[in-house]
Amino acid sequence: MSSSRRELANAIRALSMDAVQQANSGHPGAPMGMADIAQVLWADHMQHNPSNPDWANRDRFVLSNGHGSMLIYSLLHLTGYALPIEELRNFRQLHSKTPGHPEYGYAPGIETTTGPLGQGLSNAVGMAIAEKTLAAQFNQPNFDVVDHFTYCFLGDGCLMEGISHEVCSLAGTLGLGKLVAFWDDNGISIDGHVEGWFTDNTPARFEAYGWHVIADVDGHDSQAIADAIAAAKAETSKPTLICCKTIIGFGSPNKSGSHDSHGAPLGVEEIKAAREFLNWPYAPFEIPEDIYAGWDAKASGAAKEQAWNDKFTGYQQAHPALAAELTRRLAGDLPADFSEKADAFIQQSQDKAENVASRKASQNSIETFATLLPEVLGGSADLAGSNLTIWSGTKGISADDASGNYIYYGVREFGMSGIMNGIGLHGGFRPFGATFLMFMEYARNAVRMASLMGIPNIFVYTHDSIGQGEDGPTHQPIEQIANLRLTPNLATWRPCDGAETAVAWKSALERKDGPSALIFSRQGLPAQPRNAEQLANVAKGGYVLKECAGTPDVILMATGSEVGITVEAGEQLSAAGMAVRVVSMPSTSVFDKQDADYRESVLPKVVTKRVAVEAAHVDFWYKYVGLGGAVVGMSTFGESAPGAALLKYFGITTEAVVKAAKGLN
């Protein structure tokens, strides 16, 4: 006998309350409340193959309310993914595949790390943009080889976070018809009933964004849910919000509908009562065979993938060049000749020796690399003219034509960064997005999430110091560079001229295991002469730019716009009889990963007199100069004045570097 929909949904409820109870930690309420919605979606609509979680044309599923992680773990286990029951028993335990919040790369079928509320929704928007743009670039008549939906579960907390406004507004503008979001409207958050702090008219809000809104859906009525999903999929010009009225902790006789079921185990006695209420007479973590059979998606998933494979074979025959290019891009591979052509551009940049702002050098790099890599999908948070992110081949994407290579994000720094994460996770693109370095603060947590997940996105930040001038301290970064450098798995670059900028861009584009932050100046910078060995060593993050005879008396090190004045200081000190080595450190994070011998060759321990120079917070540099060294930099906020005047006022000058070096004992 086949199991009923409610019985299948109750398997999610049982596994969720059992796992949370065993861990003595977790959130049973959301999984129990959304189980009926999940059952209809995954049983009748999800296009996926548990035996191949990476199938390119699978539907994407994002649990934005990631605290309800046992919902997705239960779904993956029940439908046949390689997530055995032992992993559910080990929920929230060290090195399990079932951590407290879904973590990308831990369990198969987890599309993104969620937990910081609202960001899963932003990732889903990014995935939907990637699907629409990739389809516009590659699909041909009779060959819709890119054709899938992005589904997102979200809660009140996601909607309260400001990022939800940023990304849902843009999703409506771009007409993301294959994005379907399910709002778990249960009226409860951690502090209790949300009517005391969240009374928005959410359906009207989303209608104002240009979404298709399906309101007042009973989240425990399978037919109502099925009808809503069918209506959502039929609307192809707008994203859809399905407003599902649910009871948090559904099935718990005494704690459902209350924040008591939100973020704590139900307790042994309450779970016993819930089993009776749900007519679930099975032991903890026991799932009957007929329930497993009702959930099993391996055969149907394999058939769906095979049908797509057959279509793709026909696509390869009819459009071999497009098929090869799509295959390369989905694999994340660069063209075979990319490195050679990139190196030629780097050498050209060195030979040209232009004295330009590094933001302009960045634009030159984008012009070259975006031409070589059609997968580059650029963007800026309403600062393209200042970030210099537009190149000759730029074509913006829109609701009517998504075949372009550039996203006008508007003033949405956080949303942009979260969307980029979704695009990167989807595959087929190498996204970059730009803003002023100061406004990285708005996007900070999304940058951290990219680093945590190891997504090779590129975050471009210009106007990197007090040198930007008149906009004043609100726009002048001080502590932000150190913040980025201290982020694990983030490669942070602050190049000093065109050649270093080209190397930074190449390194970021070739990286596969994490994001890069590229930091550029507003003001013009002098080009530095280098020999072939020095140019090759730029990619190591730090190298000897100016050498002296014998062992140095002092090492001067600098990065970005301060390399020029540091070289000048070295020349003055050398003229005064000191043996001076000047080290350029475009990426301390990359330099720190070099082997010990190379790092010693650049910064030999025997040389204890060291000066670091950067128009940013001084504290970061003591790891390189030691407590006895000196740092020429900032320890206060800036001021509003022309950049040159500020650099002089705050002592970021050649004279200050010379004085610091001479003052070392």
77: annotated binding-site residue?
A: no
126: annotated binding-site residue?
A: no
**Distance (Å, whole) CA 50 – CA 61:** 13
What percentage of the chain exceeds 70 in pLDDT?
Answer: 100
pLDDT of residue 3: 84
In which band, very low, low, confident or very high, does the pLDDT at 499 lie, cut at 50, 70 and 90? Answer: very high
pLDDT of residue 24: 98
In which band, very low, low, confident or very high, does the pLDDT at 665 lie, cut at 50, 70 and 90? Answer: confident
Region 193-211: what's the mean pLDDT? 97
159: annotated binding-site residue?
A: no
Structural domain spans, the chain: 5-301, 337-519, 539-663
617: annotated binding-site residue?
A: no
**Distance (Å, whole) CA 527 – CA 352:** 9
Which amino acid would we find at residue 455? I
DSSP 108-143: TT--S---STTHHHHHHHHHHHHHHHHHHHH-BTTB
**Distance (Å, whole) CA 273 – CA 279:** 10
pLDDT of residue 151: 99
Whole-angstrom CA distances from 526 to 110, 320, 358, 361, 366 are 47, 47, 10, 11, 20
Region 519-533: what's the mean pLDDT? 97
pLDDT of residue 2: 67
Which amino acid would we find at residue 543? Y
Region 165-186: what's the mean pLDDT? 98
Region 585-599: what's the mean pLDDT? 98
497: annotated binding-site residue?
A: no
6: annotated binding-site residue?
A: no
Region 356-382: what's the mean pLDDT? 98
**Distance (Å, whole) CA 450 – CA 463:** 22
Angle at 15 between CA 13 and CA 16, to 5 degrees: 65
What is the fold of 539-663?
Rossmann fold (3.40.50)
386: annotated binding-site residue?
A: yes
Is-same-fold flag (337-519; 539-663)? yes
115: annotated binding-site residue?
A: yes
The answer to whether 168 touches 9, Cβ cutoff 8 Å, is: no
Region 468-475: what's the mean pLDDT? 95
262: annotated binding-site residue?
A: yes
Find residue 245's DSSP bridge partners: 185, 218
471: annotated binding-site residue?
A: yes
pLDDT at residue 596 is higher than 50: yes
Residue pLDDT, tens place only, 600-639: 999 999 999 999 999 999 999 999 999 889 999 999 999 9
Per the structure block, which two tokens stand in for 258?
A: 């209350």
What percentage of the chain exceeds 90 in pLDDT?
Answer: 99
* Residues designated as active site: 413
Neighbour-count burial of 39, counting CB atoms closer than 10 A to its CB (0-12 exposed, 13-18 middle, 19+ buried): buried
509: annotated binding-site residue?
A: no
Region 269-288: what's the mean pLDDT? 98
Residue pLDDT, tens place only, 54-97: 999 999 999 999 999 999 999 999 999 999 999 999 999 999 99
CATH number of 5-301: 3.40.50.970
The answer to whether 404 touches 434, Cβ cutoff 8 Å, is: no
**Distance (Å, whole) CA 364 – CA 374:** 16
Region 464-480: what's the mean pLDDT? 96
Q: Which residues contact 77 (CB under 8 A, 6 or more apart)?
A: 15, 83, 84, 85, 87, 88
156: annotated binding-site residue?
A: yes
Region 467-472: what's the mean pLDDT? 94
Residue pLDDT, tens place only, 305-340: 999 999 999 999 999 999 999 999 999 999 999 999
> For 286-337, where are the alpha helices, taking DSSP H only?
289-295, 298-318, 320-331
Q: Which candidate, 298, 280, 297, places its Cα nearest to that of 15?
A: 280
157: annotated binding-site residue?
A: yes
Element of type H or E holding 450: helix 440-453
Residue pLDDT, tens place only, 445-463: 999 999 999 999 999 999 9
CATH number of 337-519: 3.40.50.970
463: annotated binding-site residue?
A: yes
The answer to whether 31 touches 219, Cβ cutoff 8 Å, is: no
- State how far Cα 329 lies from the chain centre: 18
**Distance (Å, whole) CA 610 – CA 580:** 10
pLDDT of residue 1: 38
The answer to whether 401 touches 378, Cβ cutoff 8 Å, is: no
Residue pLDDT, tens place only, 431-447: 999 999 999 999 999 99
